Structure 1
Amino acid sequence: VEETSRIVLEKPIGSDLASSRVVNDAVGRVFEERQIFRIDHYLGKESVQNLLVTRFANVFLEPIWNSRWIDHVQITVSEKLGVAGRGEYYDRSGALRDMVQNHLLQMLCLVAMEPPTYVGGDPVRDEKLKVLRALVPLAGSDVDRNTVRGQYTTYGEEIGRPSTTETFVALRAEVQNWRWAGVPFYLRTGKRLARQESTIEVVFKEPPHTMFPHSEGVATPNRLTIRMQPDEGMQLHLTAKHPGPGGIRLHPASLDLSYADAFDERSPDAYERLLLDVMRGIPTLFMRRDEVEAAWAWVEPILEQWERTAVEPVRYHPGTDGPAAAALLPARDGHTWQE
């Protein structure tokens, strides 16, 4: 193969750890690792890339980007559409393989990774790999407690047969390292939900002391919201004083960055950006083989437990927020999903 040749692989790479290794071995016999670009279009989104810039080109977040100040993290990818002509593929895959093993875990890595030496190919991927290897394993009864799988009620009609494939997944994960120990990461994704949105919510802890005991209103925890869709941008949610005389009235306010409003340039499509990086030979936003296999190694015990217990997915109606049981994951820790 020519030195300048490159190959692009679309996710998912295999359907489990063993099959991903078969695919990677087959491709690796022809191409060197530097020529292989495993594409995940979520990593090409402007807001996802801006998360790297926000974290590592600004100094104010780093001192509080840890378990001392961050209470929990939520990652949501919800879709209003159903399988939309992809029924044959989707029924063999399901939401865990189709979305969690790649898209959602990649976003978790970008939130949780340590600062790389510089933002380039291997330094970024080295740090993401460390996050995947630090994920607390879910297996056996831990899967039953920390995952919810659902299926919208009209799914069988759409694909033309009964099925136990999940169209919704919510789970609770932990990154067991110095920075993140004790901070829950809540992930959820599903089809036929109420909203079409992709967000990362970083929820900070409450102030350690109530400074305004006689004030009106409530001081809500600070949140950093990163929106991948529909309106790419960021919001920093604060508590402010409501204007006016008299006593202090606390009121939620936000600093809002909308990319469409802030920049005149057209925001390129995620695939457009990534394919341009392929042509330029820039691997930063592509998954390395060890990343893919580490993600499968964490996801596979969840799949095995679901198959072992043979529990059917919880049904939910199209146009809702998914199974009610998904609310229990954060509720057990005293949290709620941010809507």
Structure 2
Amino acid sequence: MSFTADRLLLFGATGDLSKRMLLPSLCALDADDLLPAKLQIIGTARSELDDQGFRALAREALETFLPAERRGSLDSFLERLHYQPLDATQQDGFAALADKVGKPEQGLAIFLSTAPSLFEPTIHGLERAGLTGDTVRMCLEKPLGTDLESSRHINDAVASAFPEDRIFRIDHYLGKETVQNLLALRFANILFEPLWNAAHIDHVQITVAETVGLEGRVSFYDDAGALRDMVQNHMLQLLSLVAMEPPSSFDATAVRDEKVKVLRSLRSVGPDETVTGQYRAGAIEGKAVPGYDDELGKDSDTETFVAIKSYIDNWRWKGVPFYLRTGKRLPERVTEIVVQFRKVPHSIFAGKGAKAEPNRLVIGIQPEENITLSLMAKVPGLDRGGIRLRPVPLNIAMQNAFAGKERRIAYERLLLDLIEGDQTLFVRRDEVEAQWDWVDAIRASWVEQGATPKNYTAGSWGPSAAIALAERDGVTWHE
């Protein structure tokens, strides 16, 4: 059923995600008159607040995390906010929550950001309180389990109250402008798509590097590790967008059908195709930082870095390696996709002493959103000592190409899509389970091998074995 919700219920409304991302995103949308005029936002969490207390908390968060020029009329936005305290483990509290939500004229959208252990009791409570009807959508924030079995358990619990077409599983990377521009780059330009295959592409690199350490995520991260925290969701979503076949149209079913085909085509990773690491004390941006065990306060075998060499066994990508790496306490914060094209089959300039380098496409996602394509060009001169060629970058910086356009928080688009009911940039259940199936096999191989993370110094690009993983194929990581 198609509807634009006029109620938005935020679970975890006093938490860090809400203060840093959700409330600022909603306020920015309100400032641009993009929210439905009658939309009411109800927050809920364990904190004992009333409407005024929640509005005060929201005001402080907005003044801290949202630039002043994007706030609009702050008072009018705060009037949309309401609050009902709730302990999700206590079923009798959901009746009061339903009273606070009231009866939506158009529909209700729910954003569920809680610990995975609370998913099932929350769904049961909502169902008993009458908050799971035909005009209710459910949005789920990760983590959706810790493996395939637990993910299925969560999805089964949600599916008991909501059909798939009313379940919105969020991956905020899909809301980033450059991630969506990847689709435009591939499917709106005839220049690239004919070359986007094993005949013309040598390899693909996907890097998600962080400079931070645990930052208040101690218990979650030590249970998860880099593979489950980053690879299982964000990185596999990026990989599927790079590798997917052209969908028949830009709608939820067509796009997600093609993504899941890629995920199901991922080859099982061999024992020598992964490297794990854990950071030790070092320096980031000139400042000393402790090692992982020191931050954690105990010894741990959790990986804070992982590099993977993977293959997609289908017609388009047969034999093309996809190198993935992610880690904490690396030298810089960067998320990028590098598409390395093959060399020209024959260089007509070799006899003149010129060396031609293969073209490279770099898609920067954060901190800067840009697209750079390197082309070979002749260095000016009379060439009496031979022809010289040099790569010249064609750089499209998004903030310059579209001057005057706001740089939006990724959650702005996703929250608006949730309210309006567009699932295109959300993850379907079969995608999640295909991702977990692949990741679980990697973790099982680590256990079978007795693998433990290799040490690397904070401020470096991970263990030396990660460099060797690529270099033995003649590939150098893009840095």
Do the structures match in fold with TM over 0.5?
yes
Conserved? CA contact 1:216–1:250, under 8 Å: no
Residue equivalent to 1:276? 416
The count of aligned residue pairs is: 335
Pick the aligned partner of 1:99 from 230, 235, 238.
230
Residue equivalent to 1:151? 278
Conserved? CA contact 1:69–1:204, under 8 Å: yes
**Highest relative contact order (Cα 8 Å, sep 6+), 1 or 2?**
1
The 3-state SS of whatever aligns with 1:81 is: coil
The 3-state SS of whatever aligns with 1:6 is: strand
Conserved? CA contact 1:104–1:187, under 8 Å: yes
Matches of 2:449 and 2:351 in 1, distance apart? 53
1:158-173 to 2 correspondences below 5 Å: 158-173=295-310
* TM-score where L is the length of structure 2: 0.69
Conserved? CA contact 1:203–1:221, under 8 Å: yes
Residue equivalent to 1:28? 159
Residue equivalent to 2:388? 249
Matches of 1:172 and 1:10 in 2, distance apart? 28
Code of the residue aligned with 2:204 in structure 1: it is V
Instruction: Report deviation, 1:190.
Output: 0.2
Code of the residue aligned with 2:333 in structure 1: it is Q
Code of the residue aligned with 2:292 in structure 1: it is Y
The 3-state SS of whatever aligns with 2:444 is: helix
Residue equivalent to 1:325? 465
Matches of 1:302 and 1:8 in 2, distance apart? 28
Matches of 1:90 and 1:174 in 2, distance apart? 27
Instruction: Report deviation, 1:228.
Output: 0.2
Conserved? CA contact 2:349–2:355, under 8 Å: no
Matches of 2:416 and 2:242 in 1, distance apart? 25
Deviations 1:27-53 (A, max 9, x none): 011111111111111111111000001
Residue equivalent to 1:17? 148
Residue equivalent to 2:213? 82
1:195 aligned onto 2:335: no
Residue equivalent to 2:139? 8
Matches of 1:215 and 1:7 in 2, distance apart? 64
Code of the residue aligned with 2:342 in structure 1: it is K
Instruction: Report deviation, 1:184.
Output: 0.3
Matches of 1:216 and 1:157 in 2, distance apart? 54
Pick the aligned partner of 2:376 from 219, 235, 239.
239
Code of the residue aligned with 2:275 in structure 1: it is V
Code of the residue aligned with 1:275 in structure 2: it is L
1:125 aligned onto 2:256: yes
Moved more, 198-207 or 302-311: 302-311
Matched residues, percent identical? 55
Residue equivalent to 1:219? 356
Instruction: Report deviation, 1:217.
Output: 5.2
The 3-state SS of whatever aligns with 1:51 is: helix
Instruction: Report deviation, 1:216.
Output: 4.9
Conserved? CA contact 1:152–1:315, under 8 Å: yes
Pick the aligned partner of 1:290 from 403, 425, 430.
430
Matches of 2:181 and 2:372 in 1, distance apart? 13
Residue equivalent to 1:66? 197
Matches of 1:337 and 1:206 in 2, distance apart? 17
Matches of 1:328 and 1:248 in 2, distance apart? 34
1:40 aligned onto 2:159: no
Moved more, 146-155 or 239-248: 239-248
- Larger Cα-atom Rg: 2
Conserved? CA contact 1:203–1:223, under 8 Å: yes
Conserved? CA contact 1:215–1:250, under 8 Å: no
* TM-score where L is the length of structure 1: 0.97
Matches of 2:380 and 2:419 in 1, distance apart? 54
The 3-state SS of whatever aligns with 1:60 is: coil
Matches of 1:14 and 1:213 in 2, distance apart? 55
1:137 aligned onto 2:268: yes
Matches of 1:215 and 1:160 in 2, distance apart? 61
Moved more, 246-255 or 282-291: 246-255
Matches of 1:308 and 1:126 in 2, distance apart? 33
Matches of 1:78 and 1:298 in 2, distance apart? 22
* Structure 1 stretches lacking a partner, 5+ long: none
Deviations 1:91-144 (A, max 9, x none): 000000000011111000000000000011010000000001111112xxx1x2
Matches of 1:217 and 1:7 in 2, distance apart? 59
The 3-state SS of whatever aligns with 1:248 is: coil
Code of the residue aligned with 1:228 in structure 2: it is I
Matches of 1:299 and 1:76 in 2, distance apart? 17
The 3-state SS of whatever aligns with 1:145 is: coil
Matches of 2:417 and 2:355 in 1, distance apart? 47
Matches of 1:215 and 1:230 in 2, distance apart? 41
Residue equivalent to 1:261? 400
Residue equivalent to 1:179? 316
Conserved? CA contact 1:196–1:230, under 8 Å: yes
Moved more, 165-174 or 212-221: 212-221
Code of the residue aligned with 2:432 in structure 1: it is V
Code of the residue aligned with 1:238 in structure 2: it is L
